[in-house]
Each structure stands twice: as C-alpha cells, then as structure tokens.
Amino acid sequence: MSKRDRIITLVGAIVIAFGIYGIKYYLDHRTVINGIHVPIMPNRKENNSTLHGVDTDHNGVRDDIDRMIAEAYGNDPVRYRLVFSYFKALTLAVENPTKENVRNVGYRVACILGPTYKDVTIIEHQYLETPEVGKAYSHAMAGAIADLTCIPE
C-alpha cells in the first residue's frame, strides 16, 4: 500500500470515527512545534484543576508537558522519544502507583540521566506544579528503590 493510500485510509477512518466536525476540531486544536504535532496550550486553571490535567490527544502526557517536550527535544528524535517515554511513565505512576508503574519510571529516568536530565527537571517542575500532583508523586515514589537500568519504552 502506497503512502498516499495509507493517508486516504487514515482520513477515511477518522471521518467514520469522528465525522467532519471531529476532524475540524482535531485540526483546530493542534499545532506543530519542531516538527512534532502537539495540542494547543491548555487553559492553566483548567489544566491545574485535576490530578490528570488536560490531555486532549489521550497520549498519556498532559498537553502542556507535550508542548514543553516538543520545544526542548523536537529536533532530536532519540531524546524526544526517551523524554516523552519518561513523562508517560511518570504520569502513569502518579495516577496509578503500582510497583510496576513506579519501577518503569526508574527504567525511563535511567535513559535520560546526564546532560538531558538537567533540562528535564525544568519540565518536571511544570508537571509537579500543583500541590495535588506533588502529593501524588510523593506518595507514588515513597520508598521506591530505583533500578536505574535503561529500558526504553
């Protein structure tokens, strides 16, 4: 199947699933940063009103964090994927702090240790901005023993 045929099939599937208005909404609420398609910046009050924040594309990472990762690492596909994977694992561990989810955070952070991690702490600060998220993070990571073996997603 050619690239053109795959695109036509994808657009057809989206039309069937969401209708024309769904496609318009999707296109109106996305932007591109460093070649990465990301959602528009969410309203700060709405984004901080829940533990989960706003994740309009349902990729497991808050929209504001999506944008920050694209801004910082969009030009470096390997680092972008590793940092995105870390925040996806972190989000899952904060929302559902099972041993496996917390262990996955350790695996992902091991992949970004070094110069990249210094930059990632700026994004972490944004993620942990609300007291509810900070408290959930502390609860999830309490007593965790990190296995710092790099296992990318």
- Residue 122 falls in which region: left (phi positive, over 0), alpha (psi -120 to 50) or beta: alpha
Q: Is residue 5 part of a domain?
A: no
Q: Is residue 16 part of a domain?
A: no
CB 34 within 8 A of CB 71: yes
Q: List the chain pLDDT tens, one digit each, 153 residues.
A: 677 777 667 666 665 655 555 555 455 557 888 888 899 888 888 888 888 889 998 999 999 999 999 999 999 999 999 999 999 999 999 999 898 998 888 888 888 877 677 778 888 888 888 888 888 888 888 876 666 677 777
Distance, in Å, from the CA atom of 59 to the CA atom of 57, rounded to the nearest integer, reads 6
Beta strands in 5-146 (DSSP E): 30-33, 36-39
Our count of domains for the chain comes to 1
Write the single-letter amino acid at 16. Answer: I
* 49 closest CA partner among 137, 141, 129, 138: 129
Task: Supply the pLDDT for residue 48.
Answer: 85
Distance, in Å, from the CA atom of 36 to the CA atom of 77, rounded to the nearest integer, reads 10
Q: Is residue 50 part of a domain?
A: yes
Q: Is residue 124 part of a domain?
A: yes
Q: Is residue 28 part of a domain?
A: no
Q: Is residue 100 part of a domain?
A: yes
**pTM confidence score:** 0.74
Q: Is residue 101 part of a domain?
A: yes
Q: Is residue 29 part of a domain?
A: no
Write out the residue range of the structural domain in which residue 74 sits.
34-141
